[in-house]
Chain A
């Protein structure tokens, strides 16, 4: 396992549980972080890497924003300054969908969550393609009670499809659709919605 500091960290861990974690970052870039992105965080002192999906992005106010919000004719420079030098970080929630240890991928909850202030890194396309080679992690998503799973899963599958060559994407989505159909055979309205969401690959 590589213990070095990641080249492109997108944040540091705020808090975590086995089923998910939250990291903080300052200003979001247009492409980072995105809802449905695959991210990874070191765990077990670097022996494993927890892999999760960005399931929520929370931008909270702070006392200064509250004061500014009421100000009339707010100059653009103030707005940009407040955004770049935030006092409260942007909170990004991640749903854990598996972990990696010794180059083996496990689509189940990790033995330990990542520790606070650990760097969070976005997964590379090859890592996404490898992790999504099987679909056992679907159960972790659709069974989670407090996440908008029906939004998260299509978003994640779109990322996973894009991580593959263009000619493999439709087959990948078909296989994913079949797994969904197996899991949601008794809930056809939900299945229908999900299938409609995953068949168009941007």
Chain B
């Protein structure tokens, strides 16, 4: 047992700390940097008690012999014994005396902990760990000050996303600069709170004005108010920010109006703007064969911009023109028929129209570049995966093209860098499937990182369906509960020391808990996500039920924000 005076030597009571604030846990008895450290849990005060109170994912601090302080995360807890015969001959259930003695000697608790950061003596900023503490170093619970030191304070670059488990007063702040610097992902099973975390993250990004977001809002989760499973209503991004910061564009104005949502425009896509590449990405969903996809390119080459319109047309002249290619042997009749049958799907997409007045792509690009985030609401089309994929692909290809052009101009010093853009897609595994990720715009964006100031925020429940190469490029991973082994493996691909965190991930609560790791946080952290409610609204500058004058004042202030 460590008496208080010995602990005082190891953890001096500077910074007003006491040993009560950093309770003793045990000592390092083995392990390695790659596999994690083994800690024999102390049993002197309350045999067996520490093991029941130690939660997986909680933080511990190890005081090294050289003044270094190691920050670690608990990754596993186990019951051990020094004599295997104990399993065969445990003390009888009435023998409380022997059981208490065994629990503190022959039988003991063992914790596996992963060292993450090290604070060198006389330094304030922790660094990634490259060494491990010596044998028998003392392990203690991290106190709130320790954790707060690691995750910094909330400022213009850091956004409060939640609190470590059992440390409600400590804020975990993600580094927004780093979050948008690379593509990021929010993963988790259905109903684990992905949308709420994503909305919170997006609110942080919009507030910071560090990037614009283009959000393909499949289930109408982000733009306007949403209700949770219990029927409580939460504000969407458009309600929280001024109109010059968030615009909602809808594909389905009727539904938006019926819901009472405010929207800033409707997306209409003209037939003649559609390119074979926009459709080719749907080959899996539409069951297009390679021959049929090639036929699309052939028709585009021969018919020009009106190829899509002619395929969709009921006009006799258009049909005759297509039949001509069949009769001339350039196109197989069966192929053409199959394409036309499969294209029937597009007739149900009312946002596809033969003629459209304004070029909304240009408008969206300018808004994004001016710092206005765009939420694209799908309304009832959100239930149609082909519609979602088609629109996301269509818009992203063109916006990306604008960004590439703008970036190239900026490289030639003839213009400014375009404002960083984060494209948010749901059901990402459909876009980033290993078979198509190499060819789609989303695979390209994920791989090229921030070369053209465009990154992805992928929201998905099946990360195992996402191409490995794309996953390896995901900088920050926010992961809610996952229990499928393949999905867990996918989330940890390319993360060093990941095996230690697997158990942490599999033990998350079903709601409001997430494991954040990667580029935007100094070390992996399990958080209870911040409540999405009035406090968050207030932090974002939103004034609930304010009088009209205040609203006008805020709106004016918003006009001149960066």
Residues of chain A touching chain B, judged by Cβ–Cβ distance below 8 Å, are 173-174, 177-178, 180-182, 185-186, 188-189, 191-192, 195-196, 199
Within 8 A of A (CB), among B87-104: 89, 91, 95, 97-98, 100-102, 104
Q: How far is the CB of A68 from chain B (nearest CB, A)?
A: 48
* Complex interface: chain B residues within 8 A of A199 (CB): 95, 97-98
Contact between chains at A188 and B101 (CB < 8 Å)? no
Contact between chains at A178 and B105 (CB < 8 Å)? yes
* Complex interface: chain A residues within 8 A of B95 (CB): 195-196, 199
* Distance, CA A182 to CA B43, complexed state (A): 13
**B287 CB-CB contact with A under 8 Å:** no
Stretch at the interface among B78-86, B474-482, B506-514: B78-86
CB closest residue in chain A, given B107: A181
* Distance, CA A179 to CA B91, complexed state (A): 17
Closest 5 CB pairs of A and B: A181-B105, A177-B101, A199-B97, A195-B98, A185-B82
* Complex interface: chain B residues within 8 A of A177 (CB): 97-98, 101
Q: Is the interface of A mostly helix, strand, loop or mixed?
A: helix
What are some 30 contacts across the A-B interface (CB < 8 A)?
Answer: A174-B97, A174-B101, A177-B97, A177-B98, A178-B101, A178-B105, A180-B101, A181-B102, A181-B104, A181-B105, A181-B106, A185-B82, A185-B105, A186-B82, A186-B83, A188-B85, A188-B86, A188-B89, A189-B89, A191-B106, A192-B89, A192-B91, A192-B98, A195-B91, A195-B95, A195-B98, A196-B95, A196-B98, A199-B95, A199-B97
* Distance, CA A178 to CA B89, complexed state (A): 18
Tell me how many residues of B have a C-beta within 8 Å of chain A.
15
Q: Which of B83, B97, B104 contacts A195 (CB 8 A)?
A: B97
Contact between chains at A195 and B89 (CB < 8 Å)? no
* Distance, CA A186 to CA B86, complexed state (A): 10
* Complex interface: chain A residues within 8 A of B82 (CB): 185-186
* Complex interface: chain A residues within 8 A of B98 (CB): 177, 192, 195-196, 199
* Distance, CA A188 to CA B86, complexed state (A): 7
CB closest residue in chain A, given B81: A185
Given A185-B83, A189-B89, A195-B97; 11 other pairs, CB 8 A cutoff: A177-B98, A181-B104, A181-B105, A181-B106, A186-B83, A188-B86, A188-B89, A192-B98, A195-B98, A199-B97, A199-B98
CB closest residue in chain B, given A199: B97
Interface string of B54-94 (1 = CB under 8 A from A): 00000000000000000000000000001101100101000
* Complex interface: chain A residues within 8 A of B100 (CB): 174
* Distance, CA A173 to CA B96, complexed state (A): 13
* Complex interface: chain A residues within 8 A of B104 (CB): 178, 181
Contact between chains at B83 and A182 (CB < 8 Å)? no
* Distance, CA A199 to CA B95, complexed state (A): 9
* Complex interface: chain B residues within 8 A of A180 (CB): 101
* Complex interface: chain B residues within 8 A of A185 (CB): 82-83, 105-106
Q: How many A-B residue pairs have CB under 8 A?
A: 43
* Distance, CA A199 to CA B101, complexed state (A): 11
* Distance, CA A192 to CA B85, complexed state (A): 12
Q: Which of A174, A188, A196 contacts B83 (CB 8 A)?
A: A188
Q: How far is the CB of B80 from chain A (nearest CB, A)?
A: 12
* Complex interface: chain A residues within 8 A of B101 (CB): 174, 177-178, 180-181, 195
* Distance, CA A186 to CA B82, complexed state (A): 8
* Complex interface: chain B residues within 8 A of A188 (CB): 83, 85-86, 89, 106
Contact between chains at A182 and B86 (CB < 8 Å)? no
Q: How far is the CB of B42 from chain A (nearest CB, A)?
A: 13
Q: How far is the CB of B555 from chain A (nearest CB, A)?
A: 70
* Complex interface: chain A residues within 8 A of B86 (CB): 188
CB closest residue in chain A, given B105: A181
* Complex interface: chain B residues within 8 A of A178 (CB): 101, 104-105
For B83, B85, B91, B105, the residue with the greatest tally of chain A CB atoms inside 10 Å of its CB is B105
Q: How far is the CB of B1 from chain A (nearest CB, A)?
A: 10
Q: How far is the CB of B44 from chain A (nearest CB, A)?
A: 9
Query: Contacts A188-B83, A188-B86, A192-B89: A182 and B97 contacting too (C-beta < 8 A)?
Result: no
* Complex interface: chain B residues within 8 A of A182 (CB): 105
Interface string of B99-137 (1 = CB under 8 A from A): 011101110000000000000000000000000000000
* Distance, CA A180 to CA B106, complexed state (A): 10
Q: How far is the CB of B246 from chain A (nearest CB, A)?
A: 64
For A181, A182, A199, the residue with the greatest tally of chain B CB atoms inside 10 Å of its CB is A181
Q: How far is the CB of B54 from chain A (nearest CB, A)?
A: 21
CB closest residue in chain B, given A186: B83
Q: How far is the CB of A159 from chain B (nearest CB, A)?
A: 19
* Distance, CA A192 to CA B95, complexed state (A): 11
* Distance, CA A180 to CA B91, complexed state (A): 15
* Complex interface: chain B residues within 8 A of A196 (CB): 95, 98
CB closest residue in chain A, given B96: A199
* Distance, CA A195 to CA B97, complexed state (A): 8
* Complex interface: chain A residues within 8 A of B83 (CB): 185-186, 188
* Distance, CA A185 to CA B100, complexed state (A): 14
* Distance, CA A17 to CA B261, complexed state (A): 99
* Distance, CA A150 to CA B98, complexed state (A): 16
* Complex interface: chain A residues within 8 A of B105 (CB): 178, 181-182, 185
* Distance, CA A174 to CA B100, complexed state (A): 8
* Distance, CA A186 to CA B83, complexed state (A): 6
Q: How far is the CB of B256 from chain A (nearest CB, A)?
A: 71
* Distance, CA A181 to CA B91, complexed state (A): 13
Within 8 A of A (CB), among B441-463: none
CB closest residue in chain B, given A177: B101
Interface string of B133-163 (1 = CB under 8 A from A): 0000000000000000000000000000000
* Complex interface: chain B residues within 8 A of A189 (CB): 89
* Distance, CA A178 to CA B86, complexed state (A): 15
Q: How far is the CB of B48 from chain A (nearest CB, A)?
A: 13
* Distance, CA A180 to CA B98, complexed state (A): 11
* Complex interface: chain A residues within 8 A of B106 (CB): 181, 185, 188, 191
* Distance, CA A99 to CA B95, complexed state (A): 35
* Distance, CA A191 to CA B105, complexed state (A): 12
* Distance, CA A199 to CA B83, complexed state (A): 22
Q: How far is the CB of B272 from chain A (nearest CB, A)?
A: 83
* Complex interface: chain A residues within 8 A of B85 (CB): 188
* Distance, CA A199 to CA B82, complexed state (A): 22
* Complex interface: chain B residues within 8 A of A192 (CB): 89, 91, 98
Q: How far is the CB of B482 from chain A (nearest CB, A)?
A: 41
* Distance, CA A158 to CA B106, complexed state (A): 23
Interface string of B160-189 (1 = CB under 8 A from A): 000000000000000000000000000000
* Distance, CA A6 to CA B268, complexed state (A): 112
* Complex interface: chain A residues within 8 A of B97 (CB): 173-174, 177, 195, 199
* Distance, CA A97 to CA B311, complexed state (A): 103
Q: How far is the CB of A13 from chain B (nearest CB, A)?
A: 37
* Distance, CA A199 to CA B89, complexed state (A): 18
* Distance, CA A199 to CA B102, complexed state (A): 13
